Amino acid sequence: MTDLKHRILSRVSADLSDIEIAISQNLSPHLDLVSEVARHILFSGGKRLRPLLMVLSARICGYQESDAVPFSAIFEYLHAATLLHDDLVDGATLRRGQKAAHHIWGNPTAVLVGDFLLARSLSLAAKTEQPRIISTIAGITETMSQGEIHQLQLKGNPTITEADYMEVIRRKTAVLFEGACRSGALLADASEEKVIALGRYGADLGLAFQMADDLLDYVSNTRVLGKTVGADLREGKLTLPVIYALQKTGKEKKDWILDMISRSDFSVQDFESLVKILHESGGIDYTKTMAKRYVESAKDSIGIFSLSPTRNLLMDIADYALSRKM
C-alpha cells in the first residue's frame, strides 16, 4: 500500500464503515434474487469513493447531521446500476476479478436488477425532499446513459478525436463524481459558490480518475486490474493513449495500429507492441499529463475553502486519482 493510500484510509475508516452499513441497510428489496445480484455487484470490493465524496463535501460545508451517510448510498447504487448495464453492453466477462453478473445470472436479470438499483437510488434521493438534489441525481442518470450510448456509437471508429473522448468520459464518469460532491454541498445548504466549487472539484476529479483508469488498461496486468488487460481495445473502445498515438505517430505505425484495432483477436505480442508504440509516441505520457492537469484543477477549485482536515483529505484524494488502483 502506498503512503498516500495509507494516509487517506486511516482518516476515512470510520466513514467507510458507516457507508458500508448504509449501502447494506438501504437496499431493502422484496426478492432474494434481487438482493443476491445487487450484493454481488455492491460488495465485490468497490472503493466507495463516490459516497465518500458526498459525505466529505457535506462536511467541508459544515454539515453536522448524520443523514449524509445514508443518502450517500445513492451514489453507490447508481454506480452499481451502471456497472451492471455497462458490463452487459460491453460483453465484459470480469468485474473486479469476479465473473460479471450477466455471466452468472443472464442478461434479463442483470438488466432488471440494474433498473431496481437505479430506482432505489432515486427513491432515496426523493427522501432528501430537496428538489435540487433530486434533479441533480435524475440528471446524472440521464447524462450517463447518453455517455454510454455515445461511447457505443464510437466503438471501433479510428477517427475518434480527443474532444469526442473527453465528451464521453465527462458524461459517463465525471458527471457522477460531480453529482456526488454537488449533492453533499446542497445537503449542507451551502452557498452557491461552494456548490459550484465542489461540483467542479468532482467533475475534474472524475475526468482524471477515468483517464487513470483507461491508462491502467495499458500499464497494468489482469491480476491487479481485476479484468482482462487490453479489454478496452478488444471491445473497440479507443481511449486517450491510443487516440493520441494515432495522431502523433508515423504512417507506418499508424497503419499497423489501425490494422490491429480492427481485430478483436489480437495476440499478446501484438498488444505488447502496441503498448511500446503508445510509450514511444507519447500517448502514455500525454494521458498522464492531462490527468495531472485535471487533478490540479480539482484541487484549485476547493482552494476557496479555509484550511481544514477535510480540505486536506479532499486534496489527497485528488492526488490519489493518479495512483490508482486505490
Positions touching a second copy (CB under 8 A) are 29-31, 33-34, 85, 88-90, 107-109, 111-116, 118-120, 122-123, 125-127, 129, 131, 134-135, 138-142, 144-146, 148-150, 152-153
> Cβ closer to a second copy: 135 or 323?
135
> Cβ closer to a second copy: 62 or 106?
106
Nearest approach, Cβ of 296 to a second copy (angstroms)? 29
DSSP state of 249: S
> Cβ closer to a second copy: 114 or 241?
114
Residues in CB range of 281: below 8 A, 6 or more apart: 244, 245, 248, 249, 253
80, three cell numbers: 452499481
DSSP assignments along 94-147, one per residue: EETTEE-HHHHH-HHHHHHHHHHHHHHHHHHHHHT--HHHHHHHHHHHHHHHHH
267, three cell numbers: 495476440
> Cβ closer to a second copy: 203 or 216?
203
Which residue(s) pair with 95 in the sheet? 98
Nearest approach, Cβ of 160 to a second copy (angstroms)? 15
> Cβ closer to a second copy: 48 or 171?
171
- Asked whether 291 and 215 are in contact (CB, 8 A), the reply is yes
> Cβ closer to a second copy: 141 or 287?
141
Residues in CB range of 243: below 8 A, 6 or more apart: 160, 161, 162, 165, 283
CA distance 319 to 271: 29
CA distances from residue 319 to 19, 116, 240 in whole angstroms, order as listed? 22, 34, 20
> Cβ closer to a second copy: 49 or 118?
118
Only one residue has cell 493520441, namely: 244
Nearest approach, Cβ of 322 to a second copy (angstroms)? 30
Nearest approach, Cβ of 34 to a second copy (angstroms)? 6
